[in-house]
Amino acid sequence: MDFRVKELEVFNDSMLTIFQTLGQWKTKDAKLVPYHEYLEKLTENFEDISFTYTPRMTIQFADALATLASMVSITKENLIEPSRLR
């Protein structure tokens, strides 16, 4: 939202989540209701949001990278600067 993005394309491997977000299905789990309400508030910031179902098999690599990234603590001491190739 800091970048003032107005159109958003969301890729998700859960049809349940997509249909709940679109309001076509109701979120029944009481623990998830606050997240769904927050998501509804966030969507008001966009002019257009589209959802694309992506089977889990096609996002395994991205899933693994996200898991790995969540396990690493980045600090100034261990920050790796990009190198330039000539």
Single-letter amino acid code for the residue at 65: L
Give me the pLDDT at residue 16, please: 86
pTM more than 0.85? no
Q: Look at residue 41 and tell me if it is in a domain.
A: yes
Which one is predicted more confidently, 83 or 54? Answer: 54
Q: Look at residue 19 and tell me if it is in a domain.
A: yes
> Which of 47, 61, 52 is closest to 6 using CA atoms?
47
Q: Look at residue 82 and tell me if it is in a domain.
A: no
Domain residue limits at 25: 7-71
Q: Look at residue 35 and tell me if it is in a domain.
A: yes
**Rounded mean pLDDT, 44-72:** 84
pLDDT in tens, 66-79: 888 888 777 777 77
Q: Look at residue 27 and tell me if it is in a domain.
A: yes
- The enclosing domain of 58 has a CATH number of 3.30.420.10
Q: Are 16 and 24 in contact (CB under 8 A)?
A: no
Task: Specify the number of domains making up the chain.
Answer: 1
Q: Look at residue 81 and tell me if it is in a domain.
A: no
Q: Is the pLDDT of residue 55 over 90?
A: no
